[in-house]
Structure 1
Amino acid sequence: MKHCTATIAIAAALAAGAAHAENREVTVASWGGSFQEAQSKALFEPAEKAGFTVKQETYGGMSDVRLQVSTGQVSLDIVASGSGSAARAGAEGLLEKLDYSVIDVSSFYPNLYSDYCVGGDVFSTVYAWNTDTYGENGPQSWADFWDVEKFPGKRAYRDKVAGALEPALMADGVAPEDVYEVLSSEEGIERALNKIRELKPHIDVFWSSGAQQAQLMKDGEVDMTTGWNGRFDNAAKDGAKVDYSFNQALLDYDCFAIPKGAPNKDAAMAFLAEISKPEYQDDLPKYITYGPTNKAAYDTGEISAEVASGLPSSPENAAMQLPINLEWYAEWEQVAAEMYQEMLTE
């Protein structure tokens, strides 16, 4: 009887071990190209050494998740997403709530994780300027960006509401810490839109993509524009006469989310816990000029002071910026987007 009991116990242990191994398999979807290549080298491939089996796919964003969830055919365990898209998808019921008793975010920057997505990298929406036009003494605030007398020249601005209203309010004198409180009403949104209307005669282009914002600066088509810091870094490497400032920039992030009904939800949660560790995130800047979301990644010795000085989430640069508020986007973006599009077509 003892032998039989021992045999059963061993069999149970082996079965549990097999289940555990099986549950370390995850399918991760991202956007391909150099971005996913950087994620793969810094995060996904090292996680395989920690015992995960990682299948990588590319996908078309949350519209793909919406289709999978609505048809009950969910094949993805983890998806890379923009923070705003994840906030909306979470509010829509397309994502699993993340378990922060499993995923340690105790050393993350505030506002770089939410109920439905955990930050994977940090970027900034900044104002950039043509150094041939203004030299090194370009605008140093959103008020400067709006000041067409002090800084005459052609502007470019985003054609979507995300990251467009906050700069307008700061240019109108609202303190960064009060921006989202003011925006939490139609009157506040209208105030931001009125400030953009003020600048509109000087906006030659409303850009629609990161590639376009970089090309505008490379071609010298505009003298200053809003956009994403990494795009301007790449443009500068390609010879563009461009510089930018992190002062009053919007601190934003890409994140990882788990689709509702993911086949390997528990493994996905463990995988996100693994790649959120500082010893993974400190490798990101080796492959792409985005910063880690985990502050502790700056303490491992892998990120030099020189490299850190150019990253959005370095302590010095982060302190100058306004972290985007995902709760605001989840609640107000649809209303604000409709009002913004009306303003664009006036």
Structure 2
Amino acid sequence: MAFPLQGPKLPKLPFSVLIIISILGRSLHASEPPLTLDHYAPTCPGVFEIIKKEMECEVLSDPRNAALIVRLHFHDCFVQGCDGSVLLDDTITLQGEKKASASINSLGGFKIIDRIKNKIESECPGIVSCADILTIAARDAVLLVGEPYWDVPVGRKDSKTASFELAESNIPTADESLLSIITKFLYQGLSVTDLVALSGAHTIGTARCASFRARIYGDFETTSDRSPVSETHLNSLKSMCPATGGGDNNISAMDYVTPNLFDNSFYHLLLKGDGLLNSDQELYSSMLGLETKNLVIKYAHDPVAFFQQFSYSMVKMGNITNPDSFVNGEIRTDCRFINA
């Protein structure tokens, strides 16, 4: 498995280095996390069932909650590893990650994690980390809106720190180039295959007009197959997301065919050229994306292959750890604040 280097900003790798890393298929990092499937068996055996029941209630009340939790997990793991740092609120002595440009208007689900944490604390006080709760909840979120299932290794501790700077630099954004996003994934020890599979999470969830305005008034018509369905969808997007004059917070499903079902429809949209975000469509349309294009085609035609790779890549991403948290971390009583 692969784990992130701790330290300053994400390095800018030249294209030649990216090619070398991709060919070698080597991780940038080497250590293994002390995570196991039965970590809570002797201390909080009901933790998985508690999280499952709470997530069932949340997703039943609003299917969009599934995407919120999955996205929250992604953002957590790409900053300092999966250590619950994304859940921390700002305080006088700590600047959290929630107000970073890639997070401030795109993250939600914090209250869901709060409710799950409170339930677990009443059953097993001081035992289960917020980082583990978020990782397990992300798995359950996917399962509750479709497939697949995977076992979640646990035993993470919660970080006592957060990094606004890394949240600004490490998290991919909607308008980034394919090579830039590949660089950010490689930095985390995640491969091009992981990138394409994990991008499939966009089969659920929504995006803000501000994130796709440039796309729908830019090259959408160039990449689209211009079918009547695509034309109607583009016109609908433009009506709710004007080129100028506001509407930044208006939202649209990233998969307009099956927005609340976790399936491989996302990849079919990329084949049609109808990806909502530039960063997604580049997986198929970029001239530099031969490997990503072939993977998009594969997952569009083989949903089982997509589910298998997505499961593997989610475990791999979930195992990105903050080594410092295992030495200096804690089990937070409140996921929003470091223990007093």
For normalisation by structure 1, the TM-score amounts to 0.27
Q: Report the structure, 1 or 2, having the larger strand content.
A: 1
For normalisation by structure 2, the TM-score amounts to 0.28
User: Greater CA radius of gyration, 1 or 2?
Assistant: 1
